[in-house]
Structures are given as C-alpha cells and as structure tokens.
Structure 1
C-alpha cells in the first residue's frame, strides 16, 4: 500500500531503524547542513535525520530522507526498481491488441492505469492553515546550505507549472532561492520543462502560475526529479508507482493543483515581462559553487500548511550525498526504456562521483564494427542523456557498476589514437569546465574488444580465466580451505 503522507513514511523509517531524531538545538544556517553532510558520507548513506529543535523555529526539519538504497526502495515500494521502468514503458509504448481476447486481457491493465490517474479532491490536510496576508516564507526553517550561498534555499520542493498552451502539468525539482519574505528565484535550467513553460508564457504575454509543494508521499519528491518526457505528468507516474492515484487539491490563488497531503504549499506567479533577477551562488551537486546568474522572480500569493508541519529539505554538495541514491533509482528505473530503444544495451551506470552527467559507462552485445559508437550516438539523443560528457562503451561481460573492472577494461581495451572521438553538444549548465554555459565538448570511448574490420591487425588476447574443472573442484573444498585460512570467525 502506498504512503498517505510524509508522516506515515517516517513511522516506517523509525520502525525499520532508518530514522535518527536529533534533539540537540541546531541552526538552519549551515549547521543542519554540516550534520547532514557528515551522515550522508558514512558507508551506505547513514540514516534519515529529523532535527526536532531548530533554533528560532517550532517546525522540525527532515533531511537525508532518501539517502540510502534501503530507504529509497521503501519509499518507492519496490525491491527491483526496474519493475517501475517496465510500467513506464507500457505507458509510453502501449501494444495495440489484435484480437477481442487480447482486448479483454488488457482490461485489468487499463483499470490499473485509470486507478493511477491523479484525483482532484475538495479538501486536504495541506489546507489546514491558509495564509494570504502577512506572508513570510521565512516563517519556515529553510536552511542556508553552504557558507557562500546567496541565501536560503528550498531544495526539495515539487515545483509545479502548466504548459500555457496545452495545459499539461509539469513537476520539477529545481532549487529555489529565498529573495524576501514574499519573493523567490526559480532556478529552472534551459533544458528543463519549467523553463519551456516560462518562455511560452513570455511569448504569449501571460503570467505563469506556480505552486511549490513540500512533502507528502515520498514518491512525489522522487518523481519531481525523474527525467520524464514532457507529455508525461509526473503525478500520473507517481500513481503508476503507487498503484493508486495521487490526491490533489486546487490552489487558493492559482489554477494549479498540488498534493492534498503535502506538508507545505507555496502559491504564486512569475511575470515574464519583469526583468530576471540575480540567483546564486549555490553549492551544487557538482561539489562546486555555481555562480550568480539571471533567473525568474516568483511572487508568493499564498502559503498553506498542515498543523504542526514538517519541513523537508535535501542537501547537495560534494558527493556522495542523498542525490546519489535518487540518481541510482533513476538509473535503474529508466534502464528498460533505454533497452527498448537500444536492445543491444546490457546495462549502464551514471556514477554519482561523476555527478551523473560527467560519465556514462554502458555495456553492450557487440554485433558489428563500429557498434560502440552507434550506441553512444543514440544515447546522446535520448532526453537528458544528451548532457552526458563522457560515454565509455564496454563488452557485455563487463560489470559497469564495478569501478575496478571498469578501469581495468577501459585501460586495457582502449587505444586513444583509434578509439576516442571528440564531439560537441549540449552540456549541463552546472558544468563549470566549459568555456560557454550549456555547450561544450563530449568524448566517446570505445573500450570493447576490437575487430579486424575496425582496423585491429593483431590477435586480440584472451582474458585470463581458471579452467572449469579446477574451479568446480575447489568449490567443493572451499568451506574447509576457508576454515584453515580464517579460522572459527570466518570459516564454514
């Protein structure tokens, strides 16, 4: 069963020993970040942290909620996250039934899809308190994350907009800087759907309404980060994961719906006719500060919150952080879609240490000369995979999640003069290494076994492996040998 709200998920985390309650008074200015950073860098990502005594506030702060493999599986409700990917695949690539019997077989699947649709409800806990006068977003303990940040930042808000032409909803995970008690700066990058909505509104001469939801079922926080196609509603995707539609309420001052069981909701608008404002610096997931740049100003028209709300935040910075596990979940969930478009792909990995967009390691079933480059070109044409800076292609037997094996195969199978291509294309705007923002160089490396048709004139050597007979014999003796090596503590 899906979680109704954040509070229900916290009960699960506490029951599973995955939640630490911090009773020591700490400041939202840098101190919450320092504690969270230390915990998130422990093996396995540490525990979720509920800061119960935030100096100057009665509202507790939750961080590192999804910062472990166990917690993100608990949040999404799946042990194998690729199962979610196959659900998304069936939504995007529906098979047309050819017979009446096949149509009947599709009925349960169609019912599940219908059950997953977002539902508008009249009331929800998020509307227990509605503030339209004397608005002050700093009534909530919004952290300042790093010393040189331009201010306090909302980092785990579901930023909700609608396409001004089609009305299709988008939910994005964008950092939001607090400019004043009633004004925010929205950092939606040029490649993101929120930015597309902004430019459409500007062209049409309209204001763009915005809602920012904080909390709710943890699935909602995850789907805001998912790189879905523009036509797929993130809350529909959340419903597919939950197998139950997300309950939404209509805004009080905007025609935008948001989760009924959120802890906090911020309503407002962006006027594209207004000049952009300075946003930043901000210590981002690259581990470096991104400099000041120009982004839209959001005017707050209402703030709503539950009784005794919990403020949800995430910390980004030098990896590993909580987003390591969020990115890992995305990698696993979207593997089925990549396999559909590229059946030769066995697996891929976007290491958190490479900030997800710096390195992509992919293993393939190689079938013809130049196959590695074909796969790399195709990946660079798939959504936000277009922002990848270095793609390294391996044979199918290479475990792309094992860095020892990756470096071994990469170093041994690649000749820089033959197997490296330098290209140019779009780059993540947070990448500070490029001479221009958002565009720069890319590198494709073929680390597969080379064929004569690819210009390799020597005989490719075999990988060293023990004979099957010897391995089987030693398997039978291994328990006794382990005992003789390790003794009682680590023996059979």
Structure 2
C-alpha cells in the first residue's frame, strides 16, 4: 500500500500490540527473526544496517521495524527496535500521511484529554510481578536492557516513559531519559538541564524525600511522541499524556503501582517502579570505566557523567510474553519522536502571530528532530517580505534547542532535502541571506557548542543560531518561476504509478 492508501477499516490503537497490528497490514513495515541475538551491542549492530538511518554512521538505511523473538539469556522476552524510525510508519499508525502528520499533531495538542486511573483488573502491565525484596531479584535477569555499542557505560533503557508528580502541587509529567542499569536494583538517570521531571526531583530532594517514579516501556506510540512536546507548548504542570489522549480521542489509562506511590501506564508491556533517591549520585560508567555513556541523537557518543541521580527499583511488572522496546540513540526514531512535536509547536506559534504565512514545517533527519527546521512560507503581498524571518525568530522561541532554520518558498518541498538544497543553491546569497544570532543557549549534546570550537562561545551549550533565508524577494518572484511541464496521466503508460 502507498502512504496515502490507509486501511478503510482502521483499527483502534490503544497499546503497542494494536499499533503493531496496524503495521502488519502493510508490506515490509515490521519484520521478525527467530535467530538468537545478544542484547549487548549485537542487537543494535544488526538494526544499524536494517533501518536506523538518522545520524548513524554510514552505511545505514531506512527500513522496517524489527522484532527479535529470541534474546540471549531470556526465555520469554522479545525486543522491538525501530518502531518510529520511519516517518511513513508513524503516519500509518495514526491513519494519516507523512506530509499531514504535523497538522494532525498540532490539532491534537489543542484538544488534550487528561489521563484516567483504572483498577487492577484492567492493568495488563501487572500480569507478572517481580518485587525487589525477592533475594533473586535482578533487573538484568528480568529485562534485556541493550547496549548500543561495545563502549557504552552499561545497559540502557532508551524508551522508558518516566512518569512522576510534583511533590508540592501534584502536577504530573512524562518524559524520556537516559537510564543506565547500575546494579541489581539501581538505575541512573541523566537529566538535560531544564527538564520538568528534574524540577520535581529537586523539590523532593530539597525536602529530603525520595521521588516515586514509574518507567513504562512498550506503549502506544502516541504516548512516546506526546511525551516529547516541550514548553512553551506544554509548560511546567502540563501532563503530556493528555496530548496522547487528544491524538487517540480517548484518555490514556494509568494504574496504581504495586510498590510505590506512583502511576504507571496500565497497558504498557513493562513497568519499572522505583524512587529517585535524594542526595545520591553515581558515576554513570562506574561499572565499565569507558568514559562514554551511549550514542546520542547528534550522532556522537555522549560522555559518561560524573554524578547522576539514582533510582532505587522497588518492583518490575510486565505483561505475559512481553515486548521490550528499545531504540538506537542517533536513529530516525529520535528524529520522529522529537521532530514531529517540534514541527507542531512551531506551526502553532507562527500561525498565531502570522496567520496564513507558514505552509508547512519539517524537522529533517540531519537535524535529529531538534537542531534544524525547514519552514515553508508563502508570500502573497509586498508586506510579507521580511515576515519569513520573523517566522524563523518565532521558531527559535517556540523551541529553544533549535539551532538552524532554513526558510523556503511554497514551490519548494520541505520534506525533500534535495529540493531544499536546490533552493539554497539558487535562491540564497550568503552575505545577505544569512542571519546570525550568537551567544544563545542551545543544547549541551552538540559537541560544536563549546569554547574549544569557537572563541565566540563563552560556555559549553551556547551556540550561534542561524537563519538561512532561501526565499525569493517578493519583488523578484517573477524571475524565479520553476519550469512548468505538461500535466499527463502517467497511469496510461505505467498502471498503478503514484505521482504523489
């Protein structure tokens, strides 16, 4: 089926398994193997070639999601990787198209539906329960946390939906973090500065109390993408699970954890329950001494942090025959999880300020979903000249981790990198089409955002944000019309041909 040819009887998606069933209606979207795989480096090594793409070292490609049915050391555990590493695959799980998915999400975020709490009878995530008080309890005996490479600091959970409440006012937040298994019942948790969950942790720590937390793995993809919306679209106190509710037009179901005062996602494949301990820190690579953490979304392996907070695990619950979900850090799985919410946030903010100017937004693979946005604009009158750069400034305010904005006209496809580069080649002059905004705080995982790279940078994590205006000046538009070809019925010559 083509991207636009969605099933007419689109089934309701409520969890990971129903999402996989949607994809199984298409050819080559999900593949399975019964060959045993080692979760330590081998599993990611395989998928690097099959479908990771993104900023992964070449050779790599876009390909199907992959389920490993036999995992070394585990009798009843499957591992899924790459579910979200194709924009087309994401669109299919929401019964829309690759080009329309930004609009789909920007409308959903306007109509959030709050999560609800359900009883144990609906909590399939608790079909099997392992308590940390059991003398044989060991995280890695229960769950095959993978490593991406042989030099990782340790096994990581890369797609855990971390959910906790503000200890002062009860507001909830769900986010995705770097979670490294440190011992049989401890997991370290790395926080990029500014994360809302870290604000909750700091409040609990200031009071000398642990922060109860759940980590849900293997959930409806609406939750995974919804969790990646950030301020100002989802400010502190906004529960991103309500975005997932808006996407599915029904509330996400939560259930009370069995060992801590926290809520987990009721139909998750796996839920790890625990407490973030106050005033406890560990070195991220204390078990390996590699100096490295894991591959991060910019395409480089992050450094192991010297002191990161610790979750004391109290229990692990899971469904029967569970599916452990993971991803490769620099793959397009990150591009789509981070980029689609970024696109929706930018579009909504620009549309409010400059109605009708912005036609579409794309955060493409080279920018990892966070660092680069392509804005497609349409200038319809002389006073629109200059507003395209105002739109770029609004994009920077809508998403603080954005580094570069490329602006193109309505006749340029923002989803086609070749077309965008063509616009930069023929509609861009470096001295007049570039706007530099130096000295702005951006993202700490960009290795070029460091004083060692440029003397203009005062501190690590500061960057020069840049606008590349590849639009034609309004008064010159007549000189930049693309060649028009005859409209023809190609199907007369090639039956079934899709012109898109």
Q: Deviations over 1:383-433 (max 9, x none)?
A: xx2111112223343322222322222233333333323222121121111
Shift of 1:178: 0.8
Partner in structure 2 of residue 119 of structure 1: 117
Aligned partners of 1:136 and 1:417: how far apart in 2? 60
Q: Does 1:426 align with 2:441?
A: yes
Superposition pairs of residues 45-194 of structure 1, within 5 angstroms:
45-58=62-75, 59-79=77-97, 80-81=100-101, 82-91=103-112, 113=113, 117-123=115-121, 124-132=123-131, 133-134=133-134, 135-139=137-141, 140-194=143-197
Q: Is the 8 A contact 1:364 1:393 kept in 2?
A: yes
Within 2, Cα distance between the matches of 1:211 and 1:393?
A: 41
Superposition RMSD on alpha carbons, in Å? 3.0
| Distance 1:489-1:188 versus aligned 2 partners, 3 A rule | closer
Q: Which residue of 2 aligns with 1:380?
A: 396
2:223 counterpart of 1:210: no
Q: Which moved more, 1:255-264 or 1:277-286?
A: 277-286
Give distance in 2, aligned partners of 1:199 and 1:399. Answer: 44
**In structure 2, which of residues 405, 410, 413 is the aligned counterpart of residue 391 of structure 1?**
405
Structure 1, gaps ≥5 residues long: 92-112, 453-458
SS in 1 for 2:432: helix
The separation in 1 between residues aligned to 2:18 and 2:369, in whole angstroms, is 31
CA distance in 2: counterparts of 1:28 and 1:76, whole angstroms: 30
- Give the aligned partner of residue 298 of structure 1: 311
TM-score relative to the length of structure 1: 0.82
Partner of 2:19: 9
1:429-463 deviation per Cα after TM superposition (whole angstroms, max 9, x unaligned)? 211111143222212233333479xxxxxx78701
Q: Name which of 448, 456, 462 aligns with 1:439.
A: 462
CA contact (8 A) 1:277 1:296 kept: no
Question: Residue 463 of structure 1 corresponds to which residue in structure 2?
Answer: 480
Q: TM-score, normalised by structure 2?
A: 0.81
For structure 2, the 5+ residue unaligned runs are 1-10, 54-59, 286-291, 451-458
Q: Report the equivalent of 1:254.
A: 260
Deviations 1:148-181 (A, max 9, x none): 2111100111111212222111111112111111
Mapped partners of 1:358, 1:29: distance in 2? 30
The equivalent residue for 1:411 is: 425
Asked if structure 2 preserves the Cα contact closer than 8 Å seen for 1:324 and 1:352, the reply is yes
Work out the CA distance in 2 between the residues paired with 1:158 and 1:88.
19
Aligned to 1:371: 387
* 1:24 to 2:35 alignment: yes
- Tell me if structure 1 keeps the 8 A contact 2:111–2:246: no
Counterpart of 2:411 in 1: which secondary structure? coil
Shift of residue 71 of structure 1?
Answer: 2.8
Superposed displacement of residue 213, structure 1: 0.7
4+ residue runs over 6 A deviation? none
In 2 relative to 1, CA 87–324 (structure 1 residues): closer, same or farther, beyond 3 Å? closer
| Mapped contact 1:118–1:239 kept (Cα < 8 A) | no
Partner of 1:99: none
Matched, 1:315 2:328: yes
Q: Contact 2:284/2:293 (CA < 8 Å) preserved in 1?
A: no
**Structure with larger Rg:** 1
